[in-house]
Amino acid sequence: MRDKIILKAPWELEILRRSNRLVAETLRELTRMVRPGVSTLELDRFAETYLRERGARPAFKGYRDYPFTLCASVNEAVVHGFPSTRLLREGDILSLDMGAVVDGYYGDAAVTLPVGRISGEAERLLRVTRECLERSVGAAQPGGRLADISQAVQGHAEANGFSVVRVFVGHGIGKALHEAPQIPNFVDAGQGRGPVLKAGMVLAIEPMVNAGGPDVRVLGDKWTAVTADGALSAHFEHTVAITEHGSEVLTLLDG
C-alpha cells in the first residue's frame, strides 16, 4: 500500500462518525451477550441484523469472500476467526472484530472480552493490549509521525513480556476498508518514522498482542490466524480521526 493517504473533508468525517459509532454500539450490545454457553455464530447473526436494521451493511462480509459479519477469534486465535456453533466456555478470551458501511463510509473496531472468569495471565494480556491501544491513540497527534503509533504499541507490549504480531497491521480507512497508510504495531529499523500525521487522516489502529512469540499461522479455512506456539492472543482496535487539536476516537460511545 504505497498509495497516497486520503485526507477527509469535514462532511466526510460526519459520515465516518456515524459508521464508527454504529460499530461501537454493536460491539457494546455484543459485549453484553458474551457469556459461557453462547455461540459466536449467534453473536454474528445478532450483529448482522443489528446493522441492517439501522441501514448499514457489514463491512467484512464479502470482502475477499470473507463469509461473516464478525471475526470471532477465541484464545490462541489472533484475528479473522470464523463465528461457529462452538459454545463459549468459562475462561475463554474472545476477540470480536467488526466493520460497518454507512452511506459509503467504513467503520472498524475490535475488542477482546473475557468469558466469565479468566486466568490472571489472560487478564493481564487483555489489560496490556487495551493499554497499547490507548497509548497508541494518544500518540496519534498532528505533526507527529506514523511510527509514534507503532512504537507506543510495541514498547508497551514488549515491556510487559508480550510480543506484537508482524503480519497484520492497522490501516487508513474511509470509502474503502483498507486505505494507505499501513500501520504496523512494530518499528522497523531502516523504515524511517513514516509519514507525518495530518488533520483529516482517519486511521484504524489495531494492536494484536501475543502472550508468547509473534509468529502466526493460518488454519485450513484460509482465514483463521492462530499463534504458532498456541499461546493466547488479544486484539483491540479503534478508528481515529486526526484533527487540528489531537486525535478523536470515532469508535467510542460517550456515556
By the criterion CB under 6 A, which residues form the site for ligand MF3? 60, 63-64, 66, 71, 80, 97, 108, 110, 171, 177, 204, 206, 237
CB 17, min distance to ligand MF3, A: 18
Q: Which is nearer to ligand MF3, 75 or 251 (CB)?
A: 251
CB 6, min distance to ligand MF3, A: 16
Q: Which does 63 bind (CB under 5 to 8 A by kind): ligand MF3, Co ion, none?
A: ligand MF3
Instruction: Answer whether 102's CB lies under 8 Å from 22's CB.
Output: yes
Residue 29 is placed in which grid cell?
450490545
Check binding of 78 to Co ion (CB under 5 A).
Answer: no
Q: Which is nearer to ligand MF3, 96 or 139 (CB)?
A: 96
Check binding of 204 to Co ion (CB under 5 A).
Answer: yes
List CB contacts of 62: < 8 A, sequence separation 6 or more. Answer: none
Instruction: Answer whether 224's CB lies under 8 Å from 82's CB.
Output: yes
- For the four alpha carbons of 35, 38, 39 and 44, in that order, the dihedral sign comes to negative
Q: Which does 60 bind (CB under 5 to 8 A by kind): ligand MF3, Co ion, none?
A: ligand MF3
Check binding of 131 to Co ion (CB under 5 A).
Answer: no
Q: Which stretch binds Co ion (CB under 5 A): 148-156, 183-191, 196-204, 228-236?
A: 196-204
CB 255, min distance to ligand MF3, A: 25
In angstroms, the CA 42 to CA 143 distance is: 44
List CB contacts of 250: < 8 A, sequence separation 6 or more. Answer: 16, 17, 20, 21, 107, 202, 238, 239, 240, 241
Check binding of 108 to Co ion (CB under 5 A).
Answer: yes
Residue 80 is placed in which grid cell?
479473522
Instruction: Answer whether 22's CB lies under 8 Å from 250's CB.
Output: no
The answer to whether the peptide bond before residue 58 is cis (omega within 30 degrees of 0) is no
CB 146, min distance to ligand MF3, A: 17
Angle 213-132-251 from CA coordinates, rounded to 5°:
125
Tallying the residues shown for the chain, one arrives at: 255
Q: Crossing angle of helices 120-139/146-159, nearest 10°?
A: 160
Q: Which is nearer to ligand MF3, 169 or 197 (CB)?
A: 169
Q: Which is nearer to Co ion, 87 or 218 (CB)?
A: 218
CB 109, min distance to Co ion, A: 8
Q: Residues touching Co ion: how many (CB under 5 A)?
A: 2
Q: Which stretch binds Co ion (CB under 5 A): 53-61, 115-123, 161-169, 198-206?
A: 198-206
CB 193, min distance to Co ion, A: 22
Residues forming the site for Co ion (CB under 5 A): 108, 204
